[in-house]
Amino acid sequence: MSDWSHRHILDLATFSLEDFNSVLELANRFKDVPTKGTRKLPALQGRLITTLFFEPSTRTRSSFELAAKRLSADVQSFTPTSSSLSKGETPIDTALTYVAMGADVLIVRHSSTNVPDQLASYLDATGSKTAVLNGGDGLHSHPSQGLLDLYTLAKFFNPNNPKPEAIKGKRIVIVGDILHSRVARSNLWALTACGANVVLCGPPTLLPYEFADFVNAPPPGQSHDPVAKRGQITIFRSLKEAFKGADAVMTLRLQKERMRQNLITDLYQYHYEYGITHESLKWCKQKVPVLHPGPVNRGVEMSSALLEDTSICLVKEQVQNGIPIRMALLYLLATRV
Ligand code: NCD
């Protein structure tokens, strides 16, 4: 882990293959901590981890808080509804209040893109040692979700040795509301960096053709891509076409709170065309796993029967894998401050 160079974790666009390897290797070492011995490690004793979630969250926030506790850190959390935000304090000033209290890592979720980046730039410019971990910002990025999805897939394809190379050459289909999904964007960076070919599938209003070029732009502030050879991205409108040769399927929530117009007029029609069911999975030539970051709209992006079929649906594994992945991220950031 000596070559870990990130002071903050804001985006997966700047991750090299070695970075993905480091996180998965560490997560794999931490995976049994919650069920063995004292169920804790003393690694982050005395460190302060603060969760600053300006947007709702069930999984991400609880998972980060549990991960911090499994590493014996102190955990402080912030509740926007009872905070001074209602008195007009800005998110950055709110964050700086927790920095002043001694936070070693601030995990930040906000509905506006770039709030975690702005905070990280401010902290760097003022010489602060506090690290920022993006817990999901606007439509932009959700790095811990991208990493736990990568780990879940690597474990599926190679349970005994879940490294990024386990997904090399695999065809991963991502279905649904790509346009509004920070999860899809983080997955595009992670999966293509590890050599998977990604097939995107959705209606034109939720999946513009520009996504085919998504990973070709250099990451912000960098003149070159940190990964020499990425997998390809292709776009299909029809689920039947997209599923040909699929090795895994990931579907996404219709994120209505982020839609400016009524981009989907009929949920039944949407489910008919893009909902994942036992029936539609027959278009894949083999039995494939289905992932979803949650929360799931039952009967819209996925049938209830499929959600409950644990032989296919990996939603529970995703939640479980989120804990060691977030332990790894907190360890990598908090042992450097
Ligand atoms: C996602 C998010 O908030 O971006 N959820 C999550 O963190 N597990 C996806 C979503 O909200 O649909």
67: pLDDT strictly greater than 80 = yes
Pair 166, 243 in one domain: yes
pLDDT band of residue 258 (cuts 50, 70, 90) is confident
Contact 214, 185 (CB under 8 A): yes
Rounded to the nearest whole angstrom, what is the distance from the C-alpha of residue 233 to the centroid of ligand 1?
22
Q: How does the average pLDDT of the chain come out, rounded?
A: 94
Which pLDDT does position 31 carry in this prediction?
96
36: region left, alpha or beta (phi > 0 left; psi from -120 to 50 alpha): beta
Query: Is 164 touching ligand 1 by the criterion CB < 6 Å?
Result: no
Which residues are registered as beta bridge partners of 9? Answer: 133
Residue 240 pLDDT greater than 80, yes or no: yes
In a domain, 260, yes or no: yes
Sheet containing strand 48-53, edge to edge, reads: 74-78, 48-53, 105-110, 131-137
Is the CB of 107 within 6 Å of ligand 1? Answer: no
Looking at the predicted structure, is the pLDDT value of residue 310 above 60? yes
Lowest mean pLDDT among 46-60, 129-143, 254-268: 254-268
For residue 108, pLDDT beyond 70: yes
Q: Domain range holding 229?
A: 143-318
Q: Is the pLDDT of residue 125 over 60?
A: yes
Q: Tell me, what's the pLDDT at 264?
A: 79
> Do 162 and 42 sit in the same domain of this protein?
no
Question: What is the pTM for the complete model shown?
Answer: 0.96
Q: Which whole number is the average pLDDT over 49-58? A: 94
- CA dist 1 and 59 (Å) reads 27
Cα→Cα distances 113→15, 86, 90, Å:
19, 21, 15
My answer on whether 153 and 274 are in the same domain is yes
Mean pLDDT of 67-77: 98
- 3 inside domain: no
**At residue 2, does pLDDT exceed 60?**
no
Q: How confident is residue 223, by pLDDT bands cut at 50, 70 and 90?
A: confident
The helix, strand and coil proportions of the chain, stated in percent and rounded to the nearest 5, come to 40, 15, 45
Cα dihedral 301→324→103→333 (10° resolution)? -110
- Same domain, yes or no: 55 and 163: no
Nearest ligand 1 atom to the CA of 136 is 4
d(CA 21, CA 2) in angstroms, rounded, equals 13
Same domain, 160 and 200: yes
**Has residue 333 got a pLDDT over 70?**
yes
**Spacing, Cα 304 to ligand 1 middle (Å):** 19
Look at the chain and report how many structural domains it folds into.
2
Q: What is the CA(294)–ligand 1 centre distance, in A? A: 6
Instruction: Provide the percentage of residues in the chain whose pLDDT is more than 90.
Output: 85
pLDDT for position 133: 98
DSSP string across 21-79:
HHHHHHHHHHTTGGGSTTS---TTTT-EEEEEESS--SHHHHHHHHHHHHTT-EEEEE-
One domain for residues 247 and 219: yes
Which CATH number does the domain housing residue 246 bear?
Answer: 3.40.50.1370
Per-residue DSSP letter, 232:
P
Do 69 and 152 have their domain in common? no
Q: Which of 180, 183, 256, 314 to mutate to test the pocket of ligand 1 (most atoms within 8 A of CB)?
A: 183
- Strand (E) positions, the chain? 48-53, 74-78, 105-110, 131-137, 171-175, 197-201, 233-236, 248-251, 290-291
Locate the ligand 1 atom nearest the alpha carbon of residue 142 and give its number: 4
Q: How far is the CA of 2 from the centre of ligand 1 (A)?
A: 31
Q: Are residues 85 and 149 in the same domain?
A: no
Examine the domain organization and report whether 190 and 279 are in the same domain: yes
271-292: pLDDT as tens digits = 999 999 999 999 998 999 999 9
* Beta carbons within 10 angstroms of residue 220's beta carbon: 11
- Residues 137 and 110 sit within 8 Å (Cβ to Cβ): yes
pLDDT of 72 higher than 90: yes
Pair (326, 258) in one structural domain: no
The answer to the question of residue 35 being in a domain is: yes
* Alpha-carbon gap, residue 300 to 132, rounded angstroms: 34
Q: Does 183 contact ligand 1 (Cβ within 6 A)?
A: yes
Asked whether residue 305 falls in the same domain as residue 328, the answer is no
> What pLDDT is attached to residue 1?
58
Q: How much distance in Å is there from the Cα of 193 to the middle of ligand 1?
A: 22
CB crowding 67-80: b at 16 or more within 10 Å, else e: bbbbbebbbbbbeb
One domain for residues 192 and 131: no
For residues 241 and 168, the answer to whether their CB atoms sit within 8 Å is no
Report pLDDT for 84. Answer: 81
Confidence band of 259 (pLDDT split at 50, 70, 90): confident
Does residue 337 register a pLDDT over 70? no
Under 8 Å between Cβ of 12 and 186: yes
DSSP state of 230: P
Note whether residue 7 is domain-resident: no
CB neighbours of residue 235 within 10 Å: 18
Residue 101 inside a domain? The answer is yes
Rounded mean pLDDT, 115-125: 97
